[in-house]
Amino acid sequence: MKVGVFDSGLGGLTVVNAIIQTFNNAEIFYIADTQVAPYGIKSKEEILQHSFEVTKYLIAKHEIDVLIVACNTATSAAIKDLRTNFPNIIIIGTEPGIRPALNTTKTGSVGVLATRATLKGDKYQLLVNELSSSNSVKLYEQACPGLVEQIELGKIQTDDTFDMLENWLKPMCENGVDTIVLGCTHYPLVSSNIKKIMGENIKLIETGNAIANRLKDLTKEKNYATFENIKVFIYFTGELNTGMVNHILKDWLLGGKIIIRETKV
């Protein structure tokens, strides 16, 4: 099975991690669109255009069977058009896990961290409207400008990243938020900071496992040729912080489960 995965940068590797956990054989072609990152401050048209370029590249060069848009922001802006324009491949998107958060919260107060583009997007607005008609849960939504850049630079355990998060999370803490939706695939990489601020009992909802399970469901009928192990090919359009790549995929690298090649395109 040839799986194309893309994100603006390294965040989608949190989804790749979940796929590696679920599958023993697949070739993963990952694109970090770092020349354009961050997507979250771009217009819908720009995000759509870049999502199309990346998808066309993955189909033409790597003949992918499945595309995973491992980015909430690109899913919000482009998933509908991608499905219409590329009907011959399976396309899976990423959406903030509001539904599971509503089932998890005990206090009825849920935080949502996402990019500005995701929170403003029709897709998110529709989801929240639909769910709010049958739920009394209060949502505390917070865009996190600058956080993706910090993560791309590998500035995870730094004071400035901690301060940014503390500033956004304090009001959630004061309002009894017990569950936080990580509505950007980069944000699981700062989970330990979020726990330091919100307390160890905070429930963090990320979507990597749900995407891997969806991939399993949608491909079980298909008879894709099998590979002996997982191969991950990482391509990037601008710069790539290889230290961060190794940090994110370290468990698999140490276990020798994956083979990685990094190439600039």
Catalytic residue among 184, 189, 202, 248: 184
For residues 57 and 166, what is the distance between their CA atoms, to the nearest angstrom? 39
Indicate whether 205 belongs to the interface with ligand DGL (CB under 6 A). Answer: no
The region of 126-134, 158-166, 181-189, 219-227 touching ligand DGL under the rule CB under 6 A is 181-189
- Position of minimal CB gap to ligand DGL: 40
Indicate whether 118 belongs to the interface with ligand DGL (CB under 6 A). Answer: yes
Judge whether 137 and 110 are in contact, CB under 8 Å.
Answer: yes
Residue 163 has φ and ψ, to the nearest 5°, of -65, -40
The region of 70-78, 157-165, 209-217, 248-256 touching ligand DGL under the rule CB under 6 A is 70-78
Residue selected from 91, 186, 235, 237 as contacting ligand DGL according to rule CB under 6 A: 186
Question: Minimum distance between the CB of residue 167 and ligand DGL, rounded to whole angstroms?
Answer: 18
Indicate whether 8 belongs to the interface with ligand DGL (CB under 6 A). Answer: yes
Question: Minimum distance between the CB of residue 242 and ligand DGL, rounded to whole angstroms?
Answer: 18
Judge whether 92 and 75 are in contact, CB under 8 Å.
Answer: no
Q: Which residues, in sequence order, are CB contacts of 147 under 8 Å at separation 6+? A: 161, 164, 165, 184, 186, 187, 190
Clarify whether 173 is annotated catalytic. no
| Of residues 172, 11, 183, 207, the one with CA closest to residue 113 | 183
Return the HEC string of 211-225: HHHHHHHHHCCCCCC
Indicate whether 148 belongs to the interface with ligand DGL (CB under 6 A). Answer: yes
Indicate whether 124 belongs to the interface with ligand DGL (CB under 6 A). Answer: no
Sheet architecture: strand order including 203-205: 138-143, 109-114, 179-183, 203-205
Both tokens of 235, joined, read 């391509």
Residue selected from 17, 115, 150, 193 as contacting ligand DGL according to rule CB under 6 A: 115
Which residue's CB is nearer to ligand DGL, number 24 or number 43? Answer: 43
Question: What's 242's DSSP letter?
Answer: H
Question: Minimum distance between the CB of residue 237 and ligand DGL, rounded to whole angstroms?
Answer: 13
Peptide bond into 38 cis (omega under 30): yes
Catalytic residue among 15, 36, 71, 112: 71
Residue selected from 3, 7, 82, 198 as contacting ligand DGL according to rule CB under 6 A: 7
For residues 130 and 108, what is the distance between their CA atoms, to the nearest angstrom? 17
Size of the site for ligand DGL (CB under 6 A): 16
For residues 106 and 21, what is the distance between their CA atoms, to the nearest angstrom? 29
Clarify whether 71 is annotated catalytic. yes
Residue selected from 15, 48, 102, 184 as contacting ligand DGL according to rule CB under 6 A: 184
Enumerate binding residues for ligand DGL (CB under 6 A): 7-8, 11, 37-40, 71-73, 115, 118, 148, 184-186
Catalytic residues: 71, 184
